[in-house]
Amino acid sequence: MNQPEAGKGTLKTYVTGYVLSLGLTLVAYLFAVKQFTSGWTLIYSLATLAIAQLFVQLIFFLHLGSESKPRWNLTALLFAIMVVVIVVFGSLWIMKNLSYNHSVPADQTDQQIIHDEGLQPSKY
Amino acid sequence: MSHISTARQAELHAADAKTVFGFWVYLMTDCVLFASLFATFVVLRNNTFGGPAGNELFSLSFVLTETLVLLTSSFTAGLGMLAARRHDRRQVLLWFGITMLLGLFFLTMEVTEFHKLAVEGNSWRRSGFLSAFFTLVGTHGLHITCGLIWMITMLIKTSRHQITSRTIKQFTMLSLFWHFLDIIWIFIFTIVYLIGVAT
């Protein structure tokens, strides 16, 4: 008889993960369809639900929490998450600045930035 | 297995663990590929060039069905994995067979959606938003296709041969791949579809 090994999952972990994932998916769907909130609140709510589901699947389907030391799988994952965050948020940050600098005709850019940033122009 | 010494078994086990870890590192680099596609999509999502935006194109109930199908296939892959560890060939064929059919159903839905968009004149050539959409979702679909081909070869192999520790190692990597694609889809579902339609 094979002993269940640590980090390999059991019927219970798969069922728990499946039920939790189903719940989170349906809640996210209802949030989007019923529009309980809107704008950035809705985006943050949906993002939170997605990240919650990421953790559920990492723990119950990929059994990341029960890995034995040294936790190389977790280390690789954390590094990947760091790269992902830099790539995604870095791109958004740069592109937002880029479009900000190009959102008005070039000869009016200075006036626009002075207006948006609430600066006190001394030379005008 | 009794003729193999315990020391030799431990050696084999360590070698398998290394292979699976290598596959895990591949999955992490795949995360970076998808991150760049997600970043591209989010940057371009308002660049519709006068064409339709997400809320005019996507049906959330259709996408919810796709999500539930893929999620269920991830669960059945897990059950198949448990069966593989019990060396239960019939159960492996059953659960991975169901996973394969659900995956095929998911892929058919995705191709149907792509076809509908293209026929209505909203292909990747329509706008920056649609280019980014087709690249991101299409790359996921391509991964699913590869996963299905891999799954079919494993099913044929299991139907013909006994389950060895080598087979279990291969099923472990296949199910890691499949769970990983499910996680990527959760973010496509949220970012492309839910946020794209609701805001």
Report the residue from A8, A18, A73 with minimal CB separation from B75.
Answer: A18
Residue A95 domain-assigned (yes or no)? yes
Q: Does A79 touch chain B (CB under 8 A)?
A: yes
Chain A interface mutation, best of B13, B18, B28, highest count of A Cβ atoms under 10 Å: B28
d(CA B164, CA B84): 9
Residue A101 domain-assigned (yes or no)? yes
Percent of chain B's residues with pLDDT above 90: 83
Q: Does B10 touch chain A (CB under 8 A)?
A: no
Verify whether the Cβ–Cβ distance A54 to B68 is below 8 Å. Answer: no
Residue A101 has a pLDDT of 67
Q: Does B44 touch chain A (CB under 8 A)?
A: no
How close, in Å, is residue B89 to chain A by CA atoms? 16
If asked whether residues A46 and A4 sit together in one domain, one would say yes
If asked whether residues A63 and A73 sit together in one domain, one would say no
Residue B125 pLDDT greater than 60, yes or no = yes
Residue A12 domain-assigned (yes or no)? yes
If asked whether residues A44 and A85 sit together in one domain, one would say no
If asked whether residues A37 and A78 sit together in one domain, one would say no
d(CA B95, CA A14): 13
If asked whether residues A61 and A92 sit together in one domain, one would say no
The overall average pLDDT reported for chain A is 84
Mean pLDDT of B12-33: 92
Binned at pLDDT 50, 70 and 90, residue A30 comes out as: very high
If asked whether residues A110 and A98 sit together in one domain, one would say yes
Residue B117 domain-assigned (yes or no)? yes
Residue A43 has a pLDDT of 93
Residue A78 has a pLDDT of 95
Residue B118 domain-assigned (yes or no)? yes
Which residue on chain A is closest to B87 by alpha carbon? A2
What is the per-residue pLDDT across B139-192, written as a single tens digit (0 to 9) for each? 999 999 999 999 999 999 999 999 999 999 999 999 999 999 999 999 999 999
Residue B49 domain-assigned (yes or no)? no
If asked whether residues A92 and A103 sit together in one domain, one would say yes
Size of interface A-B (CB pairs under 8 A): 118
Residue A3 has a pLDDT of 38
Query: Looking at A8-22, B5-19, B62-76, B117-131, which range is the least confident one?
Result: B5-19
Query: Looking at A108-112, B71-75, B82-86, B195-199, which range is the least confident one?
Result: A108-112
Residue B14 has a pLDDT of 81
Mean pLDDT of A26-43: 91
If asked whether residues A62 and A9 sit together in one domain, one would say yes
What range defines the domain where residue A90 resides?
69-118
Q: Does A25 touch chain B (CB under 8 A)?
A: yes
Residue B186 domain-assigned (yes or no)? yes
If asked whether residues A51 and A39 sit together in one domain, one would say yes
Residue A122 has a pLDDT of 56
Residue for token pair 């329509």: B126
Residue B52 domain-assigned (yes or no)? no
- Residues of chain A neighbouring B71 (CB-CB closer than 8 A): 18, 21-22, 25
Residue A2 has a pLDDT of 39
The interface pTM score, or ipTM, of the predicted complex is: 0.90
| Residue/partner pairs of B122-125 with CB below 8 Å, 24 or more apart | B122/B51, B122/B52, B122/B57
Judge contact between B141 and B107, C-beta under 8 A: yes
Residue A99 domain-assigned (yes or no)? yes
Residue A35 domain-assigned (yes or no)? yes
Residue B29 belongs to domain with CATH number = 1.20.120.80
In sequence order, what DSSP letters do the residues of chain A get, joined into one string? -PPPPTTS--HHHHHHHHHHHHHHHHHHHHHHHHTSS-HHHHHHHHHHHHHHHHHHHHHHTS-GGGPPSS-HHHHHHHHHHHHHHHHHHHHHHHHHHHHHHTSS-GGGHHHHHHHHHT---S--
Report the residue from A8, A11, A22 with minimal CB separation from B71.
Answer: A22
The model's pTM: 0.88
Q: What's the domain count of chain B?
A: 1
Q: Does B32 touch chain A (CB under 8 A)?
A: yes
Verify whether the Cβ–Cβ distance B71 to A39 is below 8 Å. Answer: no
Residue A95 has a pLDDT of 87
What range defines the domain where residue B138 resides?
6-44+59-198
How close, in Å, is residue A88 to chain B by CA atoms? 5
Residue B69 domain-assigned (yes or no)? yes
Residue B88 has a pLDDT of 94
If asked whether residues A55 and A37 sit together in one domain, one would say yes
Residue A123 domain-assigned (yes or no)? no
What is the per-residue pLDDT across A64-118, written as a single tens digit (0 to 9) for each? 877 777 889 999 999 999 999 999 999 999 988 886 666 666 667 667 777 877 8
Residue B146 has a pLDDT of 98
Percent of chain A's residues with pLDDT above 90: 56
Residue A1 pLDDT greater than 50, yes or no = no
Q: What's the domain count of chain A?
A: 2
Residue A124 domain-assigned (yes or no)? no
Judge contact between A92 and B39, C-beta under 8 A: yes
Mean pLDDT of B112-131: 94
d(CA B174, CA B9): 23
What is the per-residue pLDDT across B33-67, written as a single tens digit (0 to 9) for each? 999 999 999 999 888 888 899 899 999 999 999 99
Residue A45 pLDDT greater than 50, yes or no = yes
If asked whether residues A5 and A54 sit together in one domain, one would say yes
